[in-house]
Amino acid sequence: MIILVTGATGLIGSRLVEALLAQGHEVIGVARESARLKALSIRTRTVSVDFHDATEVMDWWPLLYGVDVVINTVGLRHERRAHHFRNVHVRAPRALFKACVLAGVRRVIHLSSLGADPSSHSALLASKAAAEANLLKLPLDGVVVQPSLVFALDAPMIRWLMGLASLPRLPVPAGGRQTLQPIHLQDLVACLVRLATSEAYARRIIRLAGPRPWRLHDALATLRRAMRMRPVASLSVPTWIVRTTAALGSRLRWPFNQDTWRLIETSPSTEGSITRTLLGHPAKDLDQFIATGEAEGARSLSAWVWQRPLLQAAMAAFWLGQMVGLWPAASGLPRTLADWLGGALALGAATLAIGSMRQRRRWWWTLQALAISMLLVAAWAGWAPSEGLLSSLWAAGPALAVLWILGDRASD
């Protein structure tokens, strides 16, 4: 079969492309940057389309010649200046679905989200519901899939949860009544492949989730145990702190934000029978998500979730202090100790910057890593800040740190 997958560079889309190829299907991968997709899978035909602009039927129709199945996995986690839910979640999918009717595509599968609701206060969930309605009213074999939270070690929200699970106290937010019913990425992908190749569930909304809902606190404790970390006491977090953090998360584009908190708060759940039927066996449950061999890696990833902002805050405080001349002059610390601390922080920055190079905008990180490493080498070479070269490098420090912090935010 020829299957067109949109969002083919995403968490779900990329794994789906691999699974479809493994089953012998011909896959057309649609992505904003087809070069990125080519790097992920050399066996995929790629097309570059930006959903923000592809809001007319004619943007899609020429791509659908001979296509049997379309699977739309595009989704925004946050609205950005040039990327609105209205275009990416509603208008472009509507144009795509209409083009599928014209082109005679056999089946269209649209990935929505458990909790999608036209009356939701969350613009994300309301836009998801609008796309679902657009698909289901067309004369087409359309299937809306609403997955619950998807578990994969590289999923941003899962990293955030693992970060919470690795804290010295397990947070119990807002009374702790919330539940999660996560589904493992492998199970979700297997269900999507099955749906692509069958005729079952036409013109329906199907909810895919793990076998049972977990209280948030129990879910965190279970993840912590799976990461081979010793149990710790709980810490009740008042609702106002959770809401303020969520509001901050929306502004700073964190995985935990007002949309995700609304979803966690409403705790949508479903009985897992469709997932089991599609898989042909029970789905993995949360206590089976982290395999023994993954525990160590998961532990360091999870700690990084809160260590990184702490390091960034420390760096920013150090450099800003340096910039306004507070540090080390006003600290009263011996000059050499201050220089060594500066060097150690620069080393930290270089390590972080190099670590971040695995992300996109490689040139940006390379530039910063080189600049910060030069600063470090200069510090270790023993020049005192009062001497010419190092003092000018020190002067560049705050600017580098601020650029680094801004760049790091932009890549999230």
Ligand X SMILES: NC(=O)c1ccc[n+]([C@@H]2O[C@H](COP(=O)([O-])OP(=O)(O)OC[C@H]3O[C@@H](n4cnc5c(N)ncnc54)[C@H](OP(=O)(O)O)[C@@H]3O)[C@@H](O)[C@H]2O)c1
Min dist. Cβ of residue 389 to ligand X (A): 41
Contact between residue 49 and residue 25 where contact means Cβ atoms under 8 Å apart: no
Report in angstroms the alpha-carbon separations of 346 from 11, 287, 324, 354, 376.
33, 40, 18, 12, 6
Regarding 9 and contact with ligand X (CB under 6 A), the answer is: yes
Instruction: Single out the residue of 88, 129, 190, 227 in contact with ligand X (rule: CB under 6 A).
Output: 88
Name the nearest CA neighbour of 162 among 152, 148, 175.
152
- Residues 94-123 as x/- pattern, contact with ligand X by CB under 6 A: -----------------x-x----------
Instruction: Single out the residue of 3, 5, 13, 356 in contact with ligand X (rule: CB under 6 A).
Output: 13
Instruction: Single out the residue of 75, 93, 268, 343 in contact with ligand X (rule: CB under 6 A).
Output: 75
Size of the site for ligand X (CB under 6 A): 26
Min dist. Cβ of residue 235 to ligand X (A): 25
Rg (CA), the chain: 24
Q: Between residue 301 and residue 340, which ones bind ligand X under the rule CB under 6 A?
A: none
Q: Which is nearer to ligand X, 34 or 166 (CB)?
A: 34
Instruction: Single out the residue of 1, 2, 10, 18 in contact with ligand X (rule: CB under 6 A).
Output: 10
Regarding 12 and contact with ligand X (CB under 6 A), the answer is: yes
Regarding 149 and contact with ligand X (CB under 6 A), the answer is: yes
Regarding 155 and contact with ligand X (CB under 6 A), the answer is: yes
Instruction: Single out the residue of 3, 4, 5, 7 in contact with ligand X (rule: CB under 6 A).
Output: 7
Regarding 51 and contact with ligand X (CB under 6 A), the answer is: yes
Burial 297-310, CB ≥16 within 10 A → b, else e: ebbebbbbbeeeee
Q: Rounded to whole angstroms, how far apart are CA atoms 392 and 383? A: 11
Residue type, 231: P
Q: Which is nearer to ligand X, 83 or 215 (CB)?
A: 83
Q: Rounded to whole angstroms, how far apart are CA atoms 305 and 19? A: 29
Regarding 227 and contact with ligand X (CB under 6 A), the answer is: no
Instruction: Single out the residue of 76, 138, 237, 347 in contact with ligand X (rule: CB under 6 A).
Output: 76
Residue type, 164: L
Using the contact rule CB under 6 A, the part of the chain among 26-34, 161-169, 316-324, 348-356 near ligand X is 26-34
Using the contact rule CB under 6 A, the part of the chain among 3-11, 272-280, 313-321, 361-369 near ligand X is 3-11
Task: Quickly list H helices, 23-86.
Answer: 34-40, 57-60, 85
Regarding 264 and contact with ligand X (CB under 6 A), the answer is: no
Residue type, 288: Q
In the structure, how many helices (H) and strands (E) does the chain have?
16, 13
Helix H, strand E, coil C: the string for 85-151 is HHHHHHHHHHHHHHHHHHHCCCEEEEECCCCCCCCCCCHHHHHHHHHHHHHHCCCCCEEEEEECCEE
Residues 6+ apart with CB under 8 A from 25: 1, 2, 3, 196
CA 121 to chain centre: 22
Q: Which is nearer to ligand X, 57 or 323 (CB)?
A: 57
Regarding 257 and contact with ligand X (CB under 6 A), the answer is: no
Regarding 93 and contact with ligand X (CB under 6 A), the answer is: no
Regarding 31 and contact with ligand X (CB under 6 A), the answer is: yes
Regarding 11 and contact with ligand X (CB under 6 A), the answer is: yes
Regarding 55 and contact with ligand X (CB under 6 A), the answer is: no
Regarding 211 and contact with ligand X (CB under 6 A), the answer is: no
Q: Which residues contact ligand X (rule: CB under 6 A)?
A: 7, 9-13, 31-33, 50-52, 73-77, 83, 88, 111, 113, 147, 149-150, 155, 157
